[in-house]
Structures are given as structure tokens and as C-alpha cells.
């Protein structure tokens, strides 16, 4: 069960005691070179902590020239933060002593807790109780420590060897070991750090707490997360969604290849794998997920120094054809556009550039381009109103002054109001050019692909910020009718076709007229009553995927055809499935099939799916998944996100399909799932779409109930 969501002030309560302490005790401080207990004291001193540092060690009088105390209790002044580096079996006792000393926060570096199971798990629970009793906040256990570079504190309570320089990003790492590497790489990427926390086992302080804490901290302009798991998804979503409105959150979440074992027997289940769930969860709350730390740092730099693009129209300016094409390909692959520039821009470029240069997009200044030519070209392009962002490439040739070109790029794009990203390829004086560009706030990439990835994430943020939640329209539903059906299935399991149809119809999801009979003769009679053409299907308890058993016959136009088909179904399938029913259904008039579904994930709650449907769905796997609750705009966005979305538009003479009907049906499915928590999964496949205003109907559904 997810814990109830604490209010922001509960989450952030006491975190100042950790990150803004007046004094720090290091319990388990050590004289031994290479020990963590020594490294933490050393980092506090080397980092220039502004308050007193108290090493605690009963066997040493002095640690790193600082007088030590035998116990926390023996420290004369107040202690706000205690860093614990003692052996695991001493942690509880020390924590209790800290509580009595009125310590406000603990950073427990010691390992040997939940991660080792058994005794460690119990130890962790006890630590949690001690902390709660004394109202201490705890980071860890099993972590690398915390950092706050704010001048008034200059706190490095970690054992990382890199001392971060002050800056505007705040970082959380769920991995202690990687924390060290992240700090080092951030420094190398030129990113300064405001605060850092390695949260370890998260006995108390979670990534969500830190997000809430940093939301209101003006020194923090971008938040970076390294996540191994999303602890309490619902809490995380609630906090992240709010914080992402104020400042960008970028996450590397490991485990992408773990494509999810949730291979339930329904399609929704198998496509909504664990990673899909995390992906959509992060995207929905505005967290920018990236694949690796390189992309994370590049994106952080771009978001710190550059405005967001207003749209996806990119201008590429280059001095070499090949890289220009690479950039164009990479941008296009990221869903961005490289289209002809405005006519006025092209005319101006023609006047400014030699005839061999290309004034199309990419604008190719050719190899002889010097700073003056870059200036002239950028002056035109940076003013083009049809350009949402600029990618400037420079392959450094021997005869060109690279530094002057870099300066030209900085000068001519300054204040143009749209993002400018640069790619410097080739080593010839490239380093100096990179320095000048970076100094001018222009992110520099080695390869255009990386610039494209960054731009795509920037645009994604733009879109997320622009989105407003739209309310779900009110529906009338017959809840009692659905409840009556479910009452007959208290033991759970898959419902038969007729029952599924009854439930879905009660919730306003339309089905074609149909009849369920036993014999071929009855099937013919039913078909005559329903009207032609009809579809004949066999229904039986264990017959889940009917077409796999050739149990669906479509387009039957007369009694003879129905009789022959029914006779065949009965002869073939009754011996296999026993109790068999013949389902005679009006042939749906629509021309496009889509899938709608919901699976309840134990951690993420209801996941909704919308995709291209019909029997090809297993092969195409073109399905969009979102975590509930869906708002009024979500279904349409889900369909729009499909690779094959154009198949739903007007196509080869067929009119556009009524996607709106499918959207309404998905929202009704959400209502059904909300009204009956016992529904483990439900899927409509296919929902056959007619043209707008026509008869769009569901022709097949599955529903599985949890036992109650
Ligand atoms: P299953 O999914 O168990 O194989 P369906 O009932 O979904 O069986 O039928 C399989 C396919 O047959 C559908 O994807 C659709 O193309 C077609 N079909 C089924 N019922 C109808 C109908 N009433 N009208 C038109 N086509 C239908
Ligand atoms: Mg089906």
C-alpha cells in the first residue's frame, strides 16, 4: 500500500538540520589513512565548513589536528548534524545517543542494513524508530554523504574525493558508488553543484523529499536524479509534477533493458512492461529522462544557459557538408524539423555568402569560412522568425582562426531569444574554441547527435510546461448493472464474452447487436434477425485468442454461409473446448481497428493503453501507455503518439477514423476501472472506428477480476 502523501512541510521538515547545520560531529572519525572515517573529517575541513567539526572516537584524542571526543554526549556545544561511520552493530546505540543530544540530522554512511537482509533489515527498522522518536531526519544508511556548497555553510559531509565547485545544480544519487563518479563527471562537464545527496537505503529522506526541499531554494536551478527505483511512485509523481513547474528535473533511471516481465495474457499487460511504466511516469510528471550521464550533464548545461525552443524548427549552420547532413539526420530522428528558411533570410544569405555556399538549411558556409563569414551568416539566421533553435557546426580547419569563429558565434547569437548549441569537431585549436563558446553560455558538443538529443529534451520540457490539465467529461454509466455481473464472479478470473460485453455496454462502450446461440440452425435464425452481413465467433471458457483457433468468421452474407461456418466451428472446437457457444454479431461498418486497455500495476496503479488494434497488434506493438489518472486530453495525445498514427487519418481513399470515439471509450474504461478496483485488467480489442459521426463499436473485450 502506498503511504499517504505527506504535506510538503512534513517532507522538508528538519532538512536544514542536515544541509545547513551549525556544527557537525563525525562519529567513527579515524586517524587511519585511507579510512572513510578519516576522509569525512578531511572533506569537512578541506571543504571549509563554517562551523565547528567534532571528531568522535573513544580511542583518539586528535583526528587531523582537531581534538576528538569520546562520545557524542561529551561534546560541549550543540550538534546539528552527525555523520555516522561506525560499524553496523554500533549504529543504533550511536543514533540513540545523538537523539538524546538533540542532534537534528543523521547521515548514516555505514552499510549492513536492508541490503543484507535478515539482521540488517531489523536494524534498519530500529534505526527508523529511533529517528522518529527523536524527530531526527536521516540520510542513508549505506550512502556516500551530502554536500552543500552554499558559502554560509560550505558543507562537504561525504567521502567523495572530488570537492564540487559551487553552482546551480542539485543532485540526488540512489547509488553511493556512482555518487562519487557523478560528482567527478559533473565537475568535468563544468557544472557547479549547489547541493548533493547520496540517499542510500532511504530509511527516511527520499528523492521526493529532496525535490520538495530544492523547489523553494533559489540557488538550485536544475535538479538531477540518478534513480535505481522509483520508491513510492504516487508520492514521487505528486512532488515531481509540482517541482518540475518551477525548475527542470533530469533523471537517469537505470534498468532500461529490463523491459518488464509483466507478460500477462492480455496485450496491455505485456506491452506495459515495467520500464514503459517508469518512462511514462517520469514523462507525465515532467521529469526529463535521459539515457546516460553525458546526456544529463549536457542537458543541464543547456537548460541553465539557454532559453527553451518555442517549437521544433531547427536551423543548422555549418562549414562542412557531411556534418551538416549528420546533424540534419540526427535532428530529424529526434522529431525535429530542418526545413527551408524564410525567403528573406535566404535572400540575405545569398548577398552575404560566396556563390559556392549553400543558403538552404543546413546553411553550408564551406571550408573557407572564417569568423567574418560566420558572423554574416549568423546575423541573418538568428533573426529568422521561422527558426526555433540554432545548431552551429564548426569543423576546425588548419587555416582558420578557430577562436575568432567561436567568438563570432557567441557575439552574433547573443540575446537572439532562442537556444543555440554548437558542435566543434576536429582538434585543430578546437579546445580554445570550446572554452570561448562555453564561456559565452553556448553548450558545446562533439557530435551533432548529442546536440539533437539535448534539443529534443528541451522541446519536450517546453511542451510539458505548455500543457494544461483538461477535465474528464461527466459520463452516465449503469454501475448497478456492472456490479450485478461482477457479483457472479467473486472467485475472480477471466470473464466470458457475454459478461464482458454486458459490463462494457453498461459503461457506455457500444457493441454491435448480437446473439449467443448453441446450434448452426439457431445461428442462421439469429443472423436473419440481426441483418446482414454478420460475423460468427465461437466462445468458450478457455478460448482466449479466438482468431488463433480460426474461431472468427467475418463478412458472412447469407444463411448458407452462416450454417457452413457454424457447423465447422462446432465440429472442430467443441471436442477441444467442451461447452461452446456461437456468437453471431453484426459486422461492424468501420474501417480502422484500435486497442484500448487498462492493467493495474501493483506499484504504479492503473496503466492505460491505446494502440493500433486488431490481430496485428502483437506484431506491431504500436501502443502508447500512460499511468492513470488520465485527463481529458490524454487519450488523444496517446493516439497521436503512435508510430502508425497516420493510418488513422484519411488514407488511400478511406476517410479519417473517428479517433474521438476511441478517446471517449478509453475515458469510460477508466471510469469503470475506478469504480471497480477488483478489475485487474480489461481490454477492448478491437474497437472498430468508423468515419466521424458513423458507428464506431467495440467487437471484442476481455476482463480479468481479482478474487474477492
Ligand atoms: P480475437 O481477438 O479473440 O481473435 P476478435 O473478436 O477480436 O477475436 O476478432 C478478430 C478480428 O476479426 C478483429 O480484429 C476484426 O478484424 C474482426 N472482427 C471481429 N468481429 C467483427 C465485427 N463484428 N465486425 C467486423 N470485424 C470483426
Ligand atoms: Mg480481439
Residue 406 pLDDT exceeds 80: yes
Ligand 1 atom at minimal distance to the Cα of residue 544: 3
Which residues have a Cβ under 8 Å from the Cβ of 6 and sit 6 or more positions away? Answer: 235
How confident is the model at residue 8, as a pLDDT?
A: 59
Residue 267 pLDDT exceeds 70: no
- Categorize the per-residue pLDDT at 178 as very low, low, confident or very high, splitting at 50, 70 and 90: confident
- Categorize the per-residue pLDDT at 269 as very low, low, confident or very high, splitting at 50, 70 and 90: very low
686 ligand 1 Cβ < 6 A: yes
How confident is the model at residue 560, as a pLDDT?
A: 97
How does DSSP assign 571-613, residue by residue?
A: HHHHHHHSS-EEEEEEPP---EEEEEEEEEETTTEEEEEEEE-
597 ligand 1 Cβ < 6 A: no
Average pLDDT over residues 497-517: 97
Q: What is the dihedral of CA 354, 359, 365, 368, to 10 degrees?
A: -20
Residue 183 pLDDT exceeds 60: yes
How confident is the model at residue 398, as a pLDDT?
A: 84
Average pLDDT over residues 578-605: 92
How confident is the model at residue 410, as a pLDDT?
A: 98
Among the ranges given (7-11, 65-69, 300-304, 385-389), the one the predictor scored with the smallest mean pLDDT:
7-11
Is it true that the peptide bond before 141 is cis, omega within 30 degrees of 0?
Answer: yes
Average pLDDT over residues 433-444: 94
- Categorize the per-residue pLDDT at 306 as very low, low, confident or very high, splitting at 50, 70 and 90: very high
Average pLDDT over residues 482-503: 95
In this predicted model, what pLDDT tens digit does every residue of 366-384 receive, in sequence order? 999 999 999 999 999 999 9
How does DSSP assign 248-308, residue by residue?
A: -EEEEES-SS-------SSHHHHHS-HHHHHHHHHHHTTEEEESSHHHHHHHHHHHHHSPP
In this predicted model, what pLDDT tens digit does every residue of 511-556 receive, in sequence order? 999 999 999 999 999 999 999 999 999 999 888 889 999 999 999 9
Average pLDDT over residues 402-410: 96
| Residue of 506, 504, 505, 526 lying closest to 515 (CA atoms) | 526
In this predicted model, what pLDDT tens digit does every residue of 125-142 receive, in sequence order? 999 999 999 999 999 999
Do 277 and 251 form a contact (C-beta atoms < 8 A)? no
Cα distance between residue 494 and residue 682, in whole Å: 10
545 ligand 1 Cβ < 6 A: yes
| Residue of 383, 396, 405 lying closest to 315 (CA atoms) | 383
pTM of the model: 0.81
Residue 165 pLDDT exceeds 70: yes
To the nearest whole percent, how much of the chain has pLDDT over 90? 80
- Categorize the per-residue pLDDT at 268 as very low, low, confident or very high, splitting at 50, 70 and 90: very low
283 ligand 1 Cβ < 6 A: no
Mean pLDDT in the chain? 92
593 ligand 1 Cβ < 6 A: yes
How confident is the model at residue 105, as a pLDDT?
A: 98
Query: What is the number of the ligand closest to the CA of 683?
Result: 2
Distance 183 CA to ligand 2 centre (A): 51
Cα–Cα separations (whole angstroms), residue 26 to 63, 75, 92, 122, 164: 10, 11, 15, 24, 20
How confident is the model at residue 275, as a pLDDT?
A: 67
What angle is formed at CA 702 by the lines to CA 700 and CA 704, rounded to 5 degrees?
Answer: 170
How does DSSP assign 87-135, residue by residue?
A: -GGGHHHHHHHHHHTT--EEEE----SGGG-THHHHHHHHHHHHHHHTT
Per the DSSP assignment, residues forming a β-bridge with 394 are 424
How confident is the model at residue 429, as a pLDDT?
A: 65
265 ligand 1 Cβ < 6 A: no
How confident is the model at residue 274, as a pLDDT?
A: 59
In this predicted model, what pLDDT tens digit does every residue of 6-19 receive, in sequence order? 555 688 999 999 99
Cα distance between residue 133 and residue 385, in whole Å: 61
Ligand 1 atom at minimal distance to the Cα of residue 534: 23
In this predicted model, what pLDDT tens digit does every residue of 545-586 receive, in sequence order? 899 999 999 999 999 999 999 999 999 999 999 999 999 999
Residue 695 pLDDT exceeds 60: yes
Residue pointed to by grid coordinates 559533473: 186
588 ligand 1 Cβ < 6 A: yes
Among the ranges given (281-295, 330-344, 380-394), the one the predictor scored with the smallest mean pLDDT:
281-295
How confident is the model at residue 176, as a pLDDT?
A: 80
How does DSSP assign 454-484, residue by residue?
A: HHHHHHHHHHHHH----PPPP----HHHHHH
Distance 685 CA to ligand 2 centre (A): 4
Cell numbers that stand for 310 in this block: 518555442
Distance 688 CA to ligand 1 centre (A): 9
Ligand 1 atom at minimal distance to the Cα of residue 614: 14
Per the DSSP assignment, residues forming a β-bridge with 424 are 394
225 ligand 1 Cβ < 6 A: no
- Categorize the per-residue pLDDT at 618 as very low, low, confident or very high, splitting at 50, 70 and 90: low
Amino acid at each position: 500500500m502506498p503511504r499517504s502523501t505527506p504535506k510538503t512541510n512534513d517532507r522538508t521538515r528538519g532538512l536544514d538540520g542536515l544541509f545547513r547545520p551549525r556544527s557537525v560531529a563525525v562519529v567513527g572519525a579515524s586517524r587511519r589513512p585511507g579510512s572513510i572515517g578519516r576522509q569525512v573529517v578531511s572533506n569537512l575541513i578541506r571543504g571549509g565548513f563554517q562551523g565547528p567539526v567534532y571528531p568522535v572516537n573513544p580511542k583518539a584524542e586528535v583526528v587531523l589536528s582537531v581534538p576528538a571526543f569520546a562520545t557524542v554526549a561529551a561534546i560541549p556545544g550543540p550538534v546539528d548534524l552527525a555523520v555516522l561511520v561506525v560499524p553496523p552493530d554500533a549504529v543504533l546505540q550511536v543514533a540513540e545517543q545523538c537523539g538524546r543530544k538533540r542532534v537534528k540530522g543523521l547521515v548514516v554512511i555505514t552499510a549492513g542494513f536492508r541490503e543484507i537482509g535478515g539482521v540488517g533489515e531489523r536494524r534498519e527498522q530500529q534505526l527508523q524508530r529511533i529517528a522518529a522518536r527523536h524527530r531526527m531526519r536521516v540520510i542513508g544508511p549505506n550512502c556516500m554523504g551530502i554536500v552543500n556548497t552554499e558559502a554560509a555553510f560550505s558543507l562537504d559531509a561525504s567521502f567523495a574525493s572530488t570537492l564540487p565547485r559551487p553552482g546551480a545544480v542539485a543532485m540526488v544519487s540512489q547509488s553511493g558508488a556512482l555518487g562519487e563518479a557523478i560528482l567527478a563527471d559533473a565537475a568535468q562537464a563544468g557544472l557547479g553543484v549547489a547541493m548533493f545527496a547520496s540517499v542510500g537505503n532511504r530509511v527516511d529522506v527520499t528523492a521526493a523529499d529532496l525535490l520538495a526541499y530544492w523547489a523553494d531554494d533559489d540557488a538550485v536551478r536544475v535538479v538531477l536524479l540518478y534513480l535505481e527505483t522509483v520508491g513510492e511512485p504516487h508520492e514521487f509523481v505528486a512532488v515531481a509534477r509540482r517541482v518540475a513547474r518551477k525548475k527542470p528535473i533530469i533523471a537517469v533511471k537505470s534498468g532500461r533493458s529490463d523491459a518488464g516481465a509483466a507478460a500477462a495474457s492480455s496485450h496491455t499487460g505485456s506491452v506495459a512492461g515495467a520500464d514503459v511504466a517508469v518512462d511514462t511516469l517520469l514523462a507525465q510528471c515532467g521529469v526529463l529522462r535521459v539515457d546516460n550521464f553525458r546526456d544529463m550533464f549536457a542537458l543541464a548545461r543547456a537548460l541553465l544557459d539557454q532559453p527553451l525552443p518555442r517549437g521544433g524548427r531547427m536551423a543548422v549552420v555549418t562549414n562542412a557538408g557531411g556534418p551538416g547532413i549528420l546533424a540534419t539526420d540526427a535532428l530529424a530522428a529526434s522529431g525535429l524539423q530542418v526545413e527551408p528558411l524564410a525567403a528573406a533570410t535566404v535572400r540575405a544569405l545569398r548577398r552575404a555568402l560566396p556563390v559556392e555556399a549553400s543558403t538552404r538549411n543546413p546553411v553550408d558556409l564551406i571550408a573557407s569560412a572564417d569568423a567574418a563569414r560566420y558572423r554574416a551568416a549568423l546575423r541573418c539566421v538568428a533573426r529568422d522568425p521561422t527558426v526555433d533553435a540554432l545548431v552551429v557546426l564548426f569543423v576546425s580547419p588548419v587555416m582558420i582562426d578557430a577562436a575568432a569563429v567561436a567568438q563570432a558565434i557567441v557575439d552574433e547569437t547573443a540575446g537572439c531569444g532562442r537556444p543555440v548549441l554548437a558542435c566543434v569537431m576536429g582538434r585543430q585549436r578546437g579546445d580554445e574554441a570550446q572554452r570561448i563558446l562555453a564561456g559565452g553560455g553556448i553548450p558545446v558538443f562533439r557530435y551533432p547527435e548529442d546536440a539533437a538529443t539535448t534539443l529534443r529534451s528541451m522541446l519536450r520540457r517546453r511542451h510539458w510546461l505548455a500543457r494544461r490539465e483538461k477535465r474528464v467529461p461527466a459520463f452516465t454509466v449503469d454501475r448497478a448493472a456492472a456490479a450485478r455481473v461482477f457479483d457472479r464472479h467473486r472467485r475472480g478470473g477471466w470473464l466470458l464474452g457475454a459478461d464482458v460485453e454486458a459490463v462494457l455496454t453498461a459503461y457506455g462502450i457500444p457493441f454491435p447487436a448480437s446473439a449467443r446461440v448453441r446450434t448452426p440452425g439457431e445461428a442462421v435464425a439469429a443472423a436473419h434477425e440481426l441483418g446482414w452481413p454478420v460475423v460468427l465467433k465461437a466462445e468458450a471458457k478457455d478460448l482466449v485468442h479466438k482468431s488463433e483457433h480460426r474461431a472468427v468468421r467475418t463478412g458472412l452474407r447469407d444463411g448458407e454461409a452462416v450454417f457452413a461456418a457454424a457447423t465447422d466451428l462446432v465440429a472442430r472446437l467443441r471436442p477441444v473446448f467442451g461447452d461452446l457457444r456461437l456468437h453471431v454479431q453484426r459486422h461492424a461498418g468501420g474501417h480502422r481497428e484500435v486497442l484500448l486497455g487498462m492493467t493495474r500495476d501493483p506499484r504504479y496503479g492503473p496503466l492505460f493503453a491505446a494502440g493500433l488494434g486488431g490481430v496485428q497488434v502483437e506484431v506491431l506493438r504500436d501502443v502508447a501507455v500512460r499511468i492513470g489518472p488520465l485527463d481529458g486530453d490524454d487519450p488523444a495525445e496517446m493516439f497521436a503518439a503512435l508510430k502508425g498514427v497516420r493510418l488513422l487519418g484519411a488514407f488511400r481513399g478511406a476517410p479519417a477514423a473517428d479517433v474521438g470515439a476511441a478517446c471517449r471509450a478509453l475515458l469510460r474504461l477508466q471510469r469503470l476501472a475506478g469504480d471497480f478496483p477488483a478489475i485487474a485488467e480489461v481490454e477492448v480489442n478491437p474497437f472498430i472506428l468508423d468515419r466521424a459521426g458513423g458507428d464506431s463499436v467495440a467487437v471484442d473485450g476481455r476482463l480479468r477480476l481479482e478474487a474477492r
